[in-house]
Amino acid sequence: MTPLDTAAPDLDRLLSPRSIAMVGASNNLNSIGGLVFANLKRSFSGPLYPIHPKDSEVQGYLAYNCLQDMPQTVDLVVIAVASHAVEGVMEQAVAKGVGGIVLLSSGFAEAGAEGIALQQRIADKARAAGIRVIGPNCIGYLSIGGGVMANFALTPDEPLPPGGGVALVSQSGGFGSYLTTKGLLTGLHLGWFVSTGNELDVNIAQVLRYLVERPEVRVLLAFSETLRDPEIFIEAARRAHTLDKPMVVLKAGRSEAAAKAAMSHTASVVGAADVFDAICRQYGVIVAGSMEEMLDLGMIFQDGRRVGGNRLAIMTSSGGAGVLLADEAGMNGLAVPTFPEDEQDKMLLVLHRPFFGNVANPIDTTAAARPEAIGALLNVLASSDSVDMITTVTWARAIGAAKDLATYYQRTSKPMAVLSTDLVEPLKQAGVPTYTDPQRVAKSLAALYRHSVRKPLNEPGWQYEPTRAARARRHLQLPPGEYVLMEAQGKRLFAEYAIPLTREEWVHDLDEAVAAAERIGGKVVLKVMSYQLPHKSDVGAIRLGLQGEPEVREAYLSMLAEVRQRAPHATLDGVLVQQMVPARMELTCGLQRDPLFGPMVAIGLGGVLVEQLAQTALLRPPFDLDMARAALGQLLQGRLIQGRRGLSEHEQEQVATIMVGVGNLALELDEVEEVDVNPIRVANGLAFAADALVVLAGRSSTMEHQ
């Protein structure tokens, strides 16, 4: 673990430039060069220089023939020329001392070996000169606040985005443009869009890390295909959490096929998507389940409203819509409380007579309610102490009603979401979160609630303890060619990390075994220790439930006889005499090293149904007992720690101690590739590591213990 610089990268000259030049700017509005320059023109207020090899004017702006000819330097150079010409332009940019480059051109790493080499040369030049580069093979970026439309995500004939608190980041240019367009159609108040393309320098994580510090940004949306900078990503998540700016990620490559390909060489059942989801959960990032969900969440977060509770008022003129909204609210963790009598009376006062609707909640105004009554009801809801949030229903054709709702939205500070048959202009303009499905209303409000009441990120410190590490490493001294510790060694390693173990002794003859069994007391287990016999039961190298000298003696002898017969070539190294503890339930705890995020500790169900349940929660160390217990709380939808048969408080703490121990071991001992504590036996308020598989790095294959 080397300390990393996780301060926000200095991308100011690149992303908040005060002057811009564009190489490849063109008078041909059907070319990308023409289109991007037309975009730049329409909103940038600082100096803007088109660069054109021949034309002296581009779209009404004085043009220079090359960067060198410019009278002064610029913060940002946008490049839209053929890939073979980019190296020359780079050299001029370096000479000129520019701050950043948006490289729109294609034909780099996506175009074979030559392109890869070219991209590397450009990257080297940029790094040497300290120039930050976005792209290549991207569609640029937009910053409405900064007036920078350095992109072809939108065409110049499309309206300028309204600006606002939403920042959208996407590696993919084409899909980024798709998202931008759809976001704007949806009513997203988009202030930033950045596409990073091939990421020869700046990547998604860095852009998020930069944008999270921008005061105008209120919510960050990211479409991620490949994450290149996990530490920066996590730091962006930490800052987002601290600054109360929700970060929502849509991750490509979730399907089983994709996950399989990404699976680590340890052949774990945990796919890459699970690790990513776990990281997001641990650091407070929201994982969107679909593209529309990401945009939906952008809308609910874009104006920065927060709530103290989960109580929702539902107002509709249709009973059916009310029931469906109440259903979805309930299923997503929101409450739909009945209004107290006095508030119901207030509402009845403003409604028509006779009134056949309902003001309990959901409020059913019936179709007979006049617009003034709707407004008056909304005022009652705004001042009500009984609800935290409001949702109401409208029809896309009812433009007047939409205008009223927009006005009302701006008057109240309570979060509000509207269900509409389709999106309508007045609601979009006012930034009212508007959804076309009751489920999307409820999911969005529920996400707002969860974010509002989130706890501070629990970030335990962790310190390398050299004496402990040195002690632990004594147990890792294996003969050449061996990479899997014998169980008895693994247990000694575990003991250094305070992992609760069954009482046990490693003995080397019969009398010692009998004496050990007596010291341990109760029923014991005997296990033959050998590097060659990781699967003890396959060769009879284990005996269970022994009590008293005669049983132990007989079992010891018969076990060794059986092993010598069934595994004649195995070198035996004594016998582990182990206390046999009861188990109401079995769990497993494992360590795997993710190629991207590093060590990940998994906790899951064990025992008979282990394959059937396939339930795992993951944590990235360092983490503390509370975080470990919270991870236990994720299993079986929280039911593992509930009910008569669930884990008791103290059992949870014991299991959490095992998890923390494995996490600390992972951080301290890089050479430990894999740990499997299976089973953890749980009963009567206690939990013990009853077996230990520890694998060191360096094996060419993991087949031997599969």
| 71-130 residues near its own copies, rule: CB under 8 A | 106-107, 110-111
Q: Is 643 in the site for its own copies (CB under 8 A)?
A: yes
Pick out residues in 284-303 that bind its own copies (CB under 8 A). Answer: 289-292
- Residues 598-637 contacting its own copies, CB under 8 A: 605, 608-614, 636
- Round to whole Å and give the CA distance between 618 and 616: 7
176 belongs to the binding site for its own copies (CB under 8 A): yes
Does 320 participate in binding its own copies (rule CB under 8 A)?
Answer: yes
Site for its own copies in 395-434 (CB under 8 A): 395-397, 421-422
Sole binder of its own copies in the list 19, 171, 392, 502 (CB under 8 A): 171
Cβ proximity to its own copies, 99 vs 322, nearer residue = 322
Q: Which is nearer to its own copies, 369 or 552 (CB)?
A: 369
Helix (H, G, I), strand (E, B) or coil at 535: coil
Cβ contact 212:220 at 8 Å: yes
User: What's the min distance (Å) between Cβ of 262 and its own copies?
Assistant: 12
Nearer to its own copies, 337 or 598 (CB): 337
Give min distance, CB of 319 to its own copies, in A.
6
Whole-Å CA distances, 428 to 161, 166, 185, 192, 614 = 12, 14, 9, 17, 44
Query: Which positions ≥6 away from 134 have C-beta within 8 Å?
Result: 14, 100, 101, 102, 103, 140, 141, 194, 195, 196, 197, 201, 202
Of 378, 376, 377, 369, the residue nearest 398 (C-alpha): 369
| Contact code string over 185-224 relative to its own copies, x by CB under 8 A | x-------------------------------------x-
Beta-bridge partner residues of 287: 249
> CB burial class (10 A; 0-12, 13-18, 19+) of residue 52?
buried
Q: Which residues pair with 143 in a beta bridge?
A: 148, 192
178 binds its own copies (CB under 8 A): yes
Q: Please give the residues from 327 up to 366 whose contact with its own copies meets the rule CB under 8 A.
A: 327-331, 336, 356
Q: Which tokens belong to 497?
A: 């990390």
One residue of 34, 173, 362, 426 binding its own copies per CB under 8 A: 173
Count of residues touching its own copies (by CB under 8 A): 77
**Segment near its own copies (CB under 8 A), from 180-188, 277-285, 566-574, 594-602?**
180-188
Find the length of the chain. 706
Q: Judged by CB under 8 A, which stretch of 53-61, 383-391, 525-533, 638-646 contacts its own copies?
A: 638-646
Which region among 38-46, 256-264, 510-518, 555-563 touches its own copies (by CB under 8 A)? Answer: 256-264
Going by the DSSP 8-state scheme, the letter that residue 337 receives in this structure is P
Binding pattern for the stretch 365-394 against its own copies, x by CB under 8 A and - elsewhere: --x-------------------------x-
Chain-centre distance for alpha carbon 23: 37
Query: Of residues 66, 94, 252, 263, which one binds its own copies by CB under 8 A?
Result: 252
The two structure tokens encoding residue 650: 């103290």
Which C-beta is closer to its own copies: that of 441 or that of 662?
441
Q: How far is CA 505 from CA 198, 361, 520, 542, 577, in A?
A: 57, 66, 8, 15, 5
Q: Which stretch binds its own copies (CB under 8 A): 34-42, 173-181, 382-390, 540-548?
A: 173-181
Q: Say which residues have a Cβ less than 8 Å from residue 193's Cβ, sequence separation at least 6.
A: 141, 142, 151, 153, 161, 167, 168, 169, 170, 176, 179, 180
Q: Which residue of 125, 228, 239, 254 would you call a contact of its own copies, by CB under 8 A?
A: 254
Cα of 220 vs its chain's centroid, Å: 13
Residues 509-568 that bind its own copies (CB under 8 A): none
Question: Of residues 326, 446, 552, 577, which one binds its own copies by CB under 8 A?
Answer: 326
CA distances from 171 to 118, 279, 569 (A): 20, 20, 56
Q: Which one of 89, 134, 640, 690 is in contact with its own copies (CB under 8 A)?
A: 640
* Shortest separation between residue 400's beta carbon and its own copies, angstroms: 14
Return the closest-CA partner of residue 284 out of 240, 251, 228.
240
CB 123 within 8 A of CB 201: yes
Matching residue, tokens 């000259």: 13
* Closest distance to its own copies from the beta carbon of 542 (Å): 18
Q: How far is the CB of 260 from its own copies (least distance, A)?
A: 10
Query: How many helices and strands, by DSSP H and E, does the chain display?
Result: 23, 29
Residues numbered 559 to 588 that lie near its own copies (CB under 8 A) are 584-585
Pick from 318, 532, 648, 702: which binds its own copies (CB under 8 A)? 318
Closest distance to its own copies from the beta carbon of 170 (Å)? 7
